[in-house]
Amino acid sequence: MPLLSTDRLYTGRVVNLDLDTVGFPDGSSGRLEMFRHPGASAVVPFLDPPTDPDPRILLIRQFRHAADGFIWEVPAGRLDPGESPEACAARELEEESGMRADRLERLTTIYTTPGFTDERIHLFLATGLQAGAQGREADEFMEVVPLPWSEVLRLIRSGELSDGKTLVSVMFVQCFMRYP
């Protein structure tokens, strides 16, 4: 859809809100509210080789206002200006979990909610973890929890793990790397 015009309604720390006039495939045009986001990276950190029968990964139990409480997530965060998705994944892994990875492997890239935002999250798998230095932001309240893969899948099946980027990244690994 061609962008005919855009009006910035709000500029924030995390997102900007635009009112776009776009041309639709049938030749008509209309206005759409769009949250603009710089993008993010998320990483599934494996403590054990992913091919082990029941490898352990690190999950974050993080307070999220929008979810009205704590939710399970993989380490993730916003791309800084000019930062590559891989560098962001490495930085967020260390800041949130206190671990560095010997190896980051790209999984895929997803749109979070393309009906109203251009946010894309780049998903990675991390192996060869070693101690690093945590550096959380003031509004990040979280606990790092090592869990066996079987428990992570149980959390998904039961609905206790409902974060989209975490679901996609874990299921991507399960479907295409653990059982190709």
Any catalytic annotation for residue 92? no
CA distance 173 to 164: 14
CA distance 36 to 164: 19
Q: Are 53 and 131 in contact (CB under 8 A)?
A: no
Query: Hey, which residues does 53 pair with through a beta bridge?
Result: none
Length of the chain: 180
Q: Which of 33, 140, 143, 151 is catalytic?
A: 140
CA terminus-to-terminus distance, the chain: 36
| Catalytic residue list | 140
